[in-house]
Structure 1
Amino acid sequence: MGLLFGNYDKPGPGVPKNAPPLKPVPRFFSILQRKFFDLVKLNLLFCIPVAAVAALCYFVSTITPIVAIDLLPLILLSPFCAGLTFVTRNYAREEHAFIFSDFVDAVKNNWKPFLVNGILVYVFTNIMIVAISYYHNLSSQNIIGTIATVLCIVISYIVLCSQYYVPVMIVTFDLKLTQILKNSLIFAIIGLLPNFITTLLLALLVVLYFVSIIMPLTIIIMVCFTIFLVFAYCSFLINFAVYPLVDKMMIQPYLKMQKENKKDESEDEEVESDFVDRI
């Protein structure tokens, strides 16, 4: 547990409800129903930087045919994920959030670690794409290529799962990015079930996008879904899935430790008071 602790100066899990909590699936749809139009507003807000970055990617693509360079502006989208994450994290733990002001404040307060993480993810992704392609071609010649391909895929999956936790930890805790990355890798391993379910649901969404190109009507539907909901929905889905584990493994033990420290301090004050009275 010592690996997970650090300085916690940002908001905690909030005040628990008096009513008994719903089970995860009903609770997810309950929040989704109540916050649907707020998620739409949040998605439209996030689409502003998305549109700007997409235009920049298109401009770069007219200059160079190298895909890795064409998509480089995607890194600039990373800081805005702070605002998206902060609002959807609050929704996931059933707390209020001011869509515009909290979005902007979260970007201002967390843009540096998000940008650095975005750079790291972009570099890692390109390295893995090249490595998997190379070893996959090599696998037809010997077993080493097959083993290397599988190893690269496993590493990519672990890093992908770790990225479910990085954004929410950045906006929740005052920790160094190195600590957050280390903790995220731990969560990627111990959170097997929520990570797998989240990945499966996101993969199904990607499949729907590929299937939508069959008919013009489905393309229009998916474009509307992208503009009005997809980014906010995915962020909410991820935060809803991973936050309980973060709360269980980091926040609750820390709060318990703080409570015990305050209790010890209170007992020391009582002993000191008795000692003074006796003098």
Structure 2
Amino acid sequence: MAGFFGFFDYTKPGPGVPEDLPPKSKFIVFFEVLARKFWKLCWLNILYFLVSLPILAILYFMIGSYLLPIIESVTKGVQSAKDVQTLQSFLMTALSLLLLSGFMVFGIGPTTAGFTYIVRNFAREEHAWVTSDFFEHLRKNIKEGFISFIVDILVIFVFSVSIRFYSYQSIKYPSVGIIKYFLIFTFLVYLMMHIYIYPMMVTYNLKVRHIYKNAFIFTILKLPHTIGMFLLMIGVWVIPFLLLFVTKFLLVLLLYPLIWVSILGLMQNFYTNYVFGIYLNPQKQEEQTENKSDDKHEDN
């Protein structure tokens, strides 16, 4: 006799999961995946940061050339030379980590492709080997990743020079300000396109020009949703930076190389998986729905 008069019989099948339960919201699933994959996301974040160090070093010196004059102007009122140096190094460290983590989220070449493949799979609740799949998809997308990175650097340079030029010109000629605001809006649209660029790169076999074309179409087509996602990512992105000024604890910035970029990547790919599922994979979704309904009919 199994168990004791039918009790405590662990070989007996349980009731299972009811079929009629409504699907969980993406919000709940996101936090479930984050909790389940937390340590893997930490390792992915660290791996991504370490492998990207050469690119991050180049970006650091490029960022520094823009940040240093701003930081020097901010610290002009400080009297003590020692305090000035301390404050400048503090601001340089904080702002550099903030901006470099932003580059890591929106794309820094082939390493972002490897990173995006892992978080995309986690967002789909599919398996991925963090280390081996990271390097495999870094290699697979090395050409597209480098082209995208070079395009990004050129676009950022052109827009930064153009916006600064028209900002100075608008002081003398206020009507020129229209061009400045148009350039700012165009640059923001280009930044928002990056929500789609790398997830598309690792999911579909497309040429770079088609990736950018589709990313632009998605950005315009889903503009309210894209703006909302962009603002949400910006809000989460700056949390460690804001915590620094609340707690005065510099080590909170270690969240960026340890976990924060992975959290942002997971958020991004939860959103892009949903969008691609509607517009690029409708047949797959219909097949899954049909299979589920067929299974239910067979059970009945």
The answer as to 2:270 corresponding to 1:240 is yes
Give distance in 1, aligned partners of 2:270 and 2:215: 16
After TM superposition, list the pairs within 5 Å mapping 1:119-198 onto structure 2: 119-198=150-229
Q: Runs of 5+ in structure 1 lacking a partner?
A: 1-17, 258-279
Three-state SS of the structure 1 residue aligned to 2:172 is coil
- The alpha-carbon deviation at position 143 of structure 1 amounts to 3.6
- The alpha-carbon deviation at position 53 of structure 1 amounts to 3.3
- The alpha-carbon deviation at position 207 of structure 1 amounts to 3.7
Give distance in 1, aligned partners of 2:197 and 2:108: 15
Give distance in 2, aligned partners of 1:52 and 1:237: 26
- The alpha-carbon deviation at position 254 of structure 1 amounts to 7.3
- Greater C-alpha Rg: 2
Give distance in 2, aligned partners of 1:218 and 1:146: 40
Three-state SS of the structure 2 residue aligned to 1:174 is coil
**Residue number among 214, 231, 239 corresponding to 1:200 in the alignment:** 231
Percent of residue pairs bearing the same amino acid type: 25
Q: Deviations over 1:103-152 (max 9, x none)?
A: 11101111110110111111101111111112222222334322111111
- The alpha-carbon deviation at position 56 of structure 1 amounts to 5.2
Give distance in 2, aligned partners of 1:199 and 1:27: 20
Cross-structure match for 2:32: 30
- TM-score, with structure 1 as normaliser: 0.73
Cross-structure match for 1:221: 252
Q: CA RMSD in A?
A: 3.0
- The alpha-carbon deviation at position 198 of structure 1 amounts to 2.1
Aligned amino acid, residue 182 of structure 2: L
- TM-score, with structure 2 as normaliser: 0.69
**Residue number among 113, 120, 131 corresponding to 1:82 in the alignment:** 113
Does the C-alpha gap of structure 1 residues 194 and 28 become closer, same or farther in structure 2, counting only changes over 3 Å? Answer: farther
Q: Runs of 5+ in structure 2 lacking a partner?
A: 1-18, 68-95, 97-102, 288-300
Determine which structure has greater relative contact order: mean sequence separation of CA pairs < 8 Å that are 6+ residues apart, divided by chain length. Answer: 1
Aligned amino acid, residue 147 of structure 2: V
**Residue number among 34, 38, 41 corresponding to 1:39 in the alignment:** 41
Cross-structure match for 2:129: 98
Give distance in 2, aligned partners of 1:101 and 1:157: 34
Give distance in 2, aligned partners of 1:203 and 1:20: 31
Three-state SS of the structure 2 residue aligned to 1:94 is coil
Does the C-alpha gap of structure 1 residues 134 and 212 become closer, same or farther in structure 2, counting only changes over 3 Å? Answer: farther
- The alpha-carbon deviation at position 192 of structure 1 amounts to 2.0
Give distance in 2, aligned partners of 1:215 and 1:42: 28
How many residues align? The count is: 232
Give distance in 1, aligned partners of 2:178 and 2:237: 27
Give distance in 1, aligned partners of 2:267 and 2:49: 18
Cross-structure match for 1:268: none
